[in-house]
């Protein structure tokens, strides 16, 4: 098997997880170089990794460059991404800078791997909440075509980054003792609260925050179908890790619960946990640290024709970011698209 020279840009929650996943999956890397804002040593899973200061020279003789910025992180891929492509690397970018760029495929390997054939050196990882949604939608779309989806998300603080995780952990300790909580990452205290705002308002969709718009536009691009109606409400919740979503999906033709369950059970990367009578359904506490997208509470919507409700949970740092990026790189290798 060929081995590839890899550079990883960013060593926060997502970058650290990428390293763990590459090791777990025996990724064919002959060497891995880590670039970040400053030179240092990081210990991950008991292994010391030297970290170099990011520079263009760091992309010399690199086959694959993985940009691991968490959602909302700006700068690295915009500064270095296309320059790395010019040096011969294939870039997989976890950030949102180029997701809507027509030159850039937006890929979930289980859903639209053929989009990789059109890559011009840079491939984008979709938003974490979009990834788990389309993983649940795709098997159903193939058999009954989706007309419209209404999604509400319940997003963990890890999606904001390690500082938000620490903020919630500190508030859990401080607030019950009557201390004033330190609030840095969100407009309000997140402990014992829900915040229906992720990102900022955008003019193109009045009243919608950025995360909601990402889910709309990215779904259209991934399915290559702008006619699918998508509307989203995204909520930050006081959960450390793993996002949850409710999906209300309307199809062009009738699809039964049994047909939907069978299609989901056969879909790679999806695991059905759906026995509500026994209180069996996905939960973030159990999904955290796992690779699958978990689906449960599959039921008919009696208020609309050809409609189903689903409950979808996935680890947003793994499948929603790090794992999907590694899978993209693996699929590029499998399809013989590295170096082209």
Annotation says 243 is catalytic: yes
Name the strands in the sheet holding 146-155, side by side, starting at the edge strand that comes first in the sequence. 229-236, 146-155, 243-251, 307-314, 293-300, 270-272
φ and ψ at 280, to 5 degrees?
Answer: -105, 115
Residue closest to 242 by CA, chosen among 88, 129, 82: 129
Whether 70 and 14 have beta carbons less than 8 Å apart is answered as: yes
Strands 307-314 and 243-251 turn out to be: antiparallel
Give CA–CA dist 76/35, Å, rounded: 10
Among 119, 128, 141, 234, the active-site one is 128
Annotation says 220 is catalytic: no
Q: Which residues are catalytic?
A: 128, 243
């Amino acid at each position: 098997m060929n081995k590839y020279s890899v550079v990883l840009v960013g060593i926060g929650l997502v970058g650290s997880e990428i390293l763990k996943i590459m090791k777990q999956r025996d990724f064919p890397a002959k060497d891995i170089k880590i670039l970040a804002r400053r030179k240092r040593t990081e210990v991950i899973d008991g292994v010391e990794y030297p970290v170099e200061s990011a520079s263009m020279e760091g992309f010399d003789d690199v086959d694959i460059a993985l940009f691991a910025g968490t959602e909302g992180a700006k700068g690295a891929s915009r500064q270095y991404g296309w320059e790395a492509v010019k040096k011969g690397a294939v870039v997989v970018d976890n950030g949102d800078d180029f997701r809507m760029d027509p030159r850039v495929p937006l890929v979930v390997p289980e859903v639209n791997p053929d989009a990789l054939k059109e890559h011009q050196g840079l491939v984008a990882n979709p938003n974490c909440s979009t990834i788990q949604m389309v993983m649940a939608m795709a098997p159903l779309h193939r058999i009954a075509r989706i007309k419209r989806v209404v999604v509400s998300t319940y997003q963990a603080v890890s999606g904001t980054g390690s500082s938000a995780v620490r903020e919630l952990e500190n508030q859990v300790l401080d607030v019950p003792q009557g201390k004033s909580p330190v609030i840095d990452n969100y407009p309000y205290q997140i402990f014992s609260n829900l915040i229906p705002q992720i990102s900022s308002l955008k003019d193109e969709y009045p009243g919608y925050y950025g995360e909601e718009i990402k889910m709309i536009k990215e779904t259209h691009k991934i399915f290559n179908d702008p006619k699918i109606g998508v509307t989203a409400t995204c909520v930050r919740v006081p959960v450390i890790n793993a996002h949850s979503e409710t999906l209300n999906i309307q199809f062009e033709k009738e699809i039964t619960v049994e047909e939907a369950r069978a299609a989901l059970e056969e879909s790679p990367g999806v695991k059905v946990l759906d026995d509500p009578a026994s209180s069996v359904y996905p939960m973030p506490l159990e999904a955290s640290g796992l690779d699958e997208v978990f689906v449960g509470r599959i039921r008919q919507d009696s208020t609309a024709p050809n409609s189903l409700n689903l409950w979808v949970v996935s680890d947003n740092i793994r499948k929603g970011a790090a794992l999907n990026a590694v899978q993209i790189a693996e699929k590029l290798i499998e399809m013989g698209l590295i170096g082209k």
